[in-house]
Amino acid sequence: EVQLLESGGGLVQPGGSLRLSCAASGFTFSSYSMTWVRQAPGRGLEWVSRITWTGTGTYYIDSVRGRFTISRDNSKNTLYVQMNSLRVEDTAVYYCATGRNANWDSDAFHFWGQGTMVTVSS
């Protein structure tokens, strides 16, 4: 059974940093692109960042480029996002998600974690 478990969320002041993790199990993690999706309180879903299965390709939405860094450790079956220079508007539930097709660059998100809440506030 595929499982994705996010952790690392919390309260941080504007300008601060946070690193989120997503522990994966139940599939060959190293063969799948992974994505972070966020949802601000009362708002819709927003694609944030994606990393290819090798880790050599990383992509970001404009509003986080230069502040967030996505990475993965295939030996630990774990996805990360390092979030620096956090802003109030980064406040959201952050989900990790993946598809069902190995070695695909674009796929529907068949599997989601439960999400971790990030609150940026003074």
Binding site for other proteins (CB under 8 A): 35, 37, 44-47, 50, 59-61, 95, 105-110, 112-115
Least distance to other proteins from the beta carbon of 122, Å?
Answer: 26
83: helix, coil or strand?
A: strand
Closer to other proteins by CB, 47 or 71: give it: 47
What gap in Å lies between CA 115 and CA 120, rounded to an integer? 16
**Cβ-count burial of 69 within 10 angstroms (0-12 exposed, 13-18 middle, 19+ buried)?**
middle
Least distance to other proteins from the beta carbon of 30, Å?
Answer: 20
Least distance to other proteins from the beta carbon of 41, Å?
Answer: 11
Whether the CB-CB separation of 73 and 80 falls below 8 Å is answered with yes
Closer to other proteins by CB, 29 or 113: give it: 113
